[in-house]
A = this chain, B = another copy of it.
Amino acid sequence: MSQTLQSTPRADSFFMPAEFEPHAGTWMLWPQRPDNWRLGGKPAQKAFAAVASAIAQFEPVTMGVKTDQYSNARQMLPSHIRVVEIANNDSWLRDCGPTFVVDGKGGLRGVDWSFNAWGGLFNGLYFPWDLDDAVAQKVLEIERVDRYKAPLVLEGGSIHVDGEGTCITTAECLLSPGRNPDLSKDGIEAHLKNYLNVEKVLWVPRGVFHDETTGHVDNILCYLRPGVVALTWTDDKSDPQYERSAEAYDYLTSQPDAKGRKLEVHKIHQPNPILITDEEAEGVDAADGTLPREAGDRMAASYINFYLCNGGAVIPSFDDPHDAPALETLQKLLPDRRVVSVPAREILLGGGNIHCITQQQPK
């Protein structure tokens, strides 16, 4: 029931709306793989359930789950959250799910990118990724939404759009050799323009320090509204993140967007460095081919990895002194939304955060 279209969104006047536009709902996937999530995924499942419940205050949520976890997920989630079977290799629907596009006249379609676990055999995080790569199509089938199959390896977390012609990405990620080694920067940009239907792509140099996604944009910065961006920040010049955030700041404030606007950039101070504990590392299965979780490793924690939903925003917290100021600042920057925080350490331990595990379906 999902026809595969041979054209592009641009050719058909469809475009990706911004995340801050109204949603029909949110898609997520249920965590379970024991070589990424400690203790058989049980703490992560609680954290994902809390995120789903927080979002469900604002809009409908659908949780995709592998068959063997269906019953457990159904019982751990409140009944107003829809649970459907969607097999997957891991639970990052932002990255393996579809990018929905609209025509502004009620039309809805989906872009199905190629997914290779953030770098394929070059520097991907696990093998295989066949089930993840099929997730976008399965979501579109359930919703009876036609799809474009984009000839590009790309994850949803590596792009942000303002819905008015601008896409922001990072060169670190999109030009990394594990994704589209045969495409030039211009070639990749041409695909972004055709499949997101944007006029201008802003290439921030790098993402967050030690981010295993090779620097996804959605962990370092995000749009709050057209022309207004939030950026993860540190005042500590000795922190390896400082240089990354500073160069992003300099780049963003020097580049006009597709509408010729100068971007307004708000700094959100990052939490103090968060390291994997011995106990946390011990709870994860060792598995050949899967990125190990090692005690003492610094995680790529950022408040920016939050999710905008209808009338709300769901922000990660880390039991850190910076939690409260981040929440307060974001609430001020998003005066028309109710900003809520959800403890996210267990999500971070798997390599991402709230934005990485969610994907909006526009209205």
Contacts and interface: CB of A to CB of B under 8 A. Distances in A.
A131 interface: yes
Given A79-B3, A79-B4, A141 B67 contact: no
A71 interface: yes
A134 B80 contact: no
Contact of A87 (B67, B134, B138): B67
A87 B60 contact: no
Contact of A85 (B62, B80, B81, B87): B87
A141 B78 CA distance: 13
Nearest to A144: B82
Interface string A113-153: 00000000000000000010010011001101000000000
Interface in A1-38: 1-4
A283 to B, nearest CB: 27
A80 B4 CA distance: 10
Interface in A57-98: 60, 62, 66-67, 70-71, 74, 79-87
Contacts of A62: 1
B134 A84 contact: no
A65 B72 CA distance: 20
Interface string A254-265: 000000000000
23 contacts: A1-B60, A1-B80, A1-B81, A1-B82, A1-B83, A2-B79, A3-B80, A66-B67, A67-B67, A67-B85, A67-B87, A70-B138, A71-B134, A74-B137, A74-B141, A82-B141, A82-B142, A84-B85, A84-B141, A84-B142, A85-B85, A85-B86, A142-B142
Interface of A: 1-4, 60, 62, 66-67, 70-71, 74, 79-87, 131, 134, 137-138, 141-142, 144
